[in-house]
Structure 1
Amino acid sequence: MDEEINALEDAQKIALGVWEQLYTFGLNLLRPWNAYQVGIIVALAVVAHILARLFGPRLHNWMRTREGWPKWRMRFLVLIHRRLRLIFFVLLSWPAVWIMREMTWPSRSYLLAIVAQLALAWLIIAIVTRLIANGFVRSVVRYVGWTWVTLSILDLTDEAQSLLESAAIEIGEMRLSAWIVLQAIAVIILLMYGARFISGTTSARIRSNADISPSMQVLAIKLLQVVLYGAAFFIGLKAVGVDLTGLAVLSGAIGVGLGFGLQKVVSNLVSGVILLLDRSIKPGDVISLGETFGWINSLGARYVSITTRDGKEYLIPNEDLITGQVVNWSHSNDYVRLDIYFGTAYADDPHEVRRIAIEASQKVERVLSFKKPVCHIVGFGDSSVDYILRFWISDPTGGLTNIRGNVYLALWDAFKENGISIPFPQREVRLLEYNSDSA
């Protein structure tokens, strides 16, 4: 209790000290030279606004004519267009500072110099943070940078740090202040971006290695990401002095609770690791699961993305692929045998029918020639002699229904050319004459 009272008193003292500095600064503005500098700053801001309104539309129209330029160059021009007022203010304020220092005492241009430094620092931060791809992170880094630069230029960093240090809570023997939290966030963000860069570079090299199977590539990349991001998080906390012992106990308790509440999610995560380890499926495989038929687009931590021939993308939970019956059409190789059934009239020679069917199927594109099609009689039906034609393809991702249709069409043309008829069921109905005498 005493420590909390002392911390509150320290915070009050710091706040009063900052207020006194601001009050003194406000009184100093009433002095003639300070008021004169404020007038110069306002005049420069007005001139910068007029120049931005004058040159902004011209720059925008010129940018619209640059159609073949790279995206990074166009984005830089968009940034310049949005910051025209600040750019003109910086270009005008620094010459004004140099002129004031040459014409009068340096103390009489002190306020103008501070504003010029702030404007230049804000402009540099706005340009540099544009390199960050994530919009949320870019905004956070930009505003934090502007705040830190402003405090540094105004020489208020010690007071701000002391104020943040006083805002703290204690968990056991660990003291967690707002200053430590901000430091941890900054360090973790930097380490995360470093981990992301290393992960992206290494992942590209893993994908380009033909000696590693696709499933093992996915597994290696995911394990690498988990290790790098996890290390970045814990190293960031350790770097700012956070005791990880208490955090480990807390995370263990939370993990047990999440384990019971998220059994399905954990099951899918574990199933995803099993699928990657046993290499039963991999990106590019053609599989059937129930009524879903398509090829694997990607393997996720929780689900597998399957794209069908009609363009639909199914997200199948990993657990279903472990517990259900999956037909992998291209597990060990890409060769797939297809069967089609047809029938001909009893008057046609079955030997000729088999020969013509085999020759017709061999002329169809995608049907393999080195795995010769075969044709067999499978039965004598009511109206036809029934046959089965078996052929092989090596690209199941190209579809199965379309190749069957092409083979049927080739059989139709070949049978029509050789006078072989395809019978259809016929029924004969006889009307018996009714005899009233016999009734």
Structure 2
Amino acid sequence: MPPDADPLAPLMVRLDDLWQTLQGWLVSPAAWSQFALLVAAFLLAVLLTRRLLPAVRRGLSPRDEATGPLARLRRFALGALPLVLPLLAYGLTALGEGLTRAAFGEGEVIAFGKRVFLFLAARVLVREVLKDPFLRLMGRYVLVPMAALYALGILDEITEWLDTSRVDLGNISFSALALVRGVIAGALLFWCGTWSNRQSSSYIKAQAELRPATRELAVKASEVAIFGAAFLLLMSIMGIDLTAVAVLGGAIGVGVGLGLQQIAANFVSGIILLLEGQTTVGDYVELDDGSAGTIIRMTARACIIETVDGRWVVVPNDNFITSRVVNYSDAGKAHRYSAQFSVSYDTDINRVPALVEQAVGALPFVLAEPGGPSCELNAFGESSVDFEVEYWVNGIEDVTDDYRSKVLFCIWNALKAGGVEMPYPHRVVELRQPVASA
């Protein structure tokens, strides 16, 4: 095409030819006979649809309690039944077009009607079949206009015009058609990627035999694979040379090295945490800065910790690699805790260990192995003799000191029952001078 030529000229010529063709159909007996065949095909499609649809609905309807893949497929097929009429009319019209062209050598009118039925099928699909808001939006503004252009017979001309228009961005060059196709394909690929990611994530998280860290790593790996494949497919659809994308990737790499080091470090640290599995969702951890809580979520950049008072603390993944972290959630391992108490100096302290050890050992959560309760003399205080009892429990202690509270109640009751006096402060006041008499 010459540089000074109007790119829309072929389209205008095609529209003028279409108008002339329509005028010719109005006075042509052959065209009217094809119109009659078109109407007959539509009426036959209506008759067949009314006869077939009730039986098809009965055959496809699943039981109300059915929830399996086959039941979902049958429900989807039921939702697509409104397409039967326009598609059946399209098929009968296509058959009529073949017979007309074989008998009379022409069939432009019936071919136009066939394309119109395809346009009606697109409208029914968008209005009655598609339920997802995004797909309905794409159908309303992409599928239906394209079907309308195809019905008018000018879709090829518009496609050719878009293909001749070029868009240059540095070393990357592509046509306007590739841009439009890329926008549409990109939107659809993003929707498909999001849907696939949800499905794969739900499936992976349902595998109870996998460790939580393994499930999280598998979810993130599938997400990267899905959207990476979608990006490469989109580049191929748009016709963009991947070597140009490699240059852009190098520039991004330099940007990461200069300004996004911390983000990259957190991302790599998150992968290391998931691979090692030493810290995972559900663990109760304590960091060097005193932050403590249960990990409720692990993302590519940070871990979210829920404290005992319900607050969420976002901790960068790098902190778990470069600083000391205490993980209390070693499943199946016992932990030792202690509780302090005091008795009066008037008490026979030799009786105290046996009383306390027997009482604490009777608590249901206190373990006999790796060692039962051990009561030890701790110190001689100003007003009391101080003891400490050590005991073992499974898992981590509740951060609200639930175990310690129960142990202290038990010690109090045991000492009271054994006649052991609890101390109270004693103070001796010495008067240096006699008090003057009144």
| 1:3-402 superposed matches below 5 A | 6=3, 9-14=5-10, 16-17=12-13, 20=16, 117-130=118-131, 132=132, 135-136=133-134, 139-140=137-138, 143-171=141-169, 174-187=172-185, 189-190=188-189, 193=192, 197=196, 200-201=199-200, 204=203, 208=207, 210=209, 212-289=210-287, 290-331=289-330, 334-371=333-370, 372-396=372-396, 398-399=398-399, 401-402=401-402
Closer/same/farther in 2, CA of residues 23 and 342 from structure 1, 3 Å limit: farther
SS at match of 2:7: helix
Contact persistence 2:285–2:325 (CA under 8 A): yes
Shift in Å, 1:253: 0.9
* Runs (5+) with no aligned partner, structure 2: 36-63, 94-106
Q: Unaligned stretches of 5+ in structure 1? A: 38-66, 98-105
Q: CA distance change for structure 1 residues 146 and 357 in 2, over 3 Å: closer, same or farther?
A: farther
How many Å separate the matches in 1 of 2:179 and 2:337? Answer: 63
SS in structure 1 at match of 2:153: coil
Q: Is the 8 A contact 2:361 2:367 kept in 1?
A: yes
Deviation string 1:71-96 (CA, Å, 9 cap, x unpaired) is: xx9xxx9xx99xxxx99x98xx99xx
Identity among equivalent positions (%) equals 28
Cα drift, residue 108 of structure 1: 9.4
The alpha carbon displacement at 1:336 in A equals 2.1
Q: Deviations over 1:285-306 (max 9, x none)?
A: 2111233322222221111122
Residue 174 of structure 1, CA deviation: 4.5
Report the residue type matching 2:266 in the other structure.
N
Describe the shift of the 1:69–1:235 C-alpha distance in structure 2 as closer, same or farther (beyond 3 A).
Answer: closer
- Between 106-115 and 147-156, report the one with greater CA deviation: 106-115
Does the aligned pair in 2 maintain the 1:268–1:318 contact within 8 Å? yes
The letter for the 1-side match of 2:406 is N
- Name the CA shift for 1:20/1:334 in 2 (closer, same or farther; >3 Å): farther
Change (3 A) 1:406 1:30: farther
- Tell me by how many angstroms 1:430 deviates: 5.9
Question: What secondary structure is seen at the aligned counterpart in 1 of 2:309?
Answer: coil
Aligned equivalents of 1:153 and 1:29: distance in 2? 16
Match of 2:336, SS state, is strand
Report the CA distance between 1:353 and its aligned residue. 1.9
- Residue 246 of structure 1: how far off its partner (Å): 0.9
The TM-score, its normalising length taken from structure 1, stands at 0.70
**Residues 274, 26 of structure 1: alpha-carbon distance in 2 compared, 3 angstrom cutoff:** same
- 2:97 alignment counterpart: none
Q: Deviations over 1:121-151 (max 9, x none)?
A: 2221345542x5xx54663355322232222
- For 1:361 and 1:174, how far apart are their aligned partners in 2? 76
The normalised TM-score by structure 2 is 0.70
8 A Cα contact 2:330 2:395, kept in partner: no
Which is worse superposed, 200-209 or 343-352? 200-209
Asked if 1 retains the 8 angstrom alpha-carbon contact of 2:181 and 2:237, the reply is: no
What is the CA distance between 1:321 and its match in structure 2?
Answer: 1.9
**Between 237-246 and 326-335, the greater mean CA deviation after superposition:** 326-335
**Partner amino acid for 1:385?**
V
Cα distance change of structure 1 residues 330 and 108 upon mapping to structure 2, 3 Å threshold: closer
How many angstroms apart in 2 are the aligned matches of 1:419 and 1:30?
Answer: 117
Pair 1:323–1:174, CA change in 2 (3 A): closer
Letter of the structure 1 residue corresponding to residue 405 of structure 2: G
Output one character per residue of 1:239-277: Cα deviation in whole Å (capped at 9) or x when no partner: 553210011112211331244222221121122122223
- The verdict on how the C-alpha distance between 1:145 and 1:354 changes in structure 2, with shifts beyond 3 A counting, is farther
Root-mean-square deviation (Å): 5.0
* Distance verdict in 2 for CA 1:357–1:397, change over 3 Å: closer
Q: What SS does structure 1 have at the residue aligned with 2:300?
A: coil
CA distance in 2, matches of 1:377, 1:397: 24
- Matched position secondary structure for 2:424: coil
CA drift of 1:348 comes to 2.2
Matched letter for residue 9 of structure 2: K
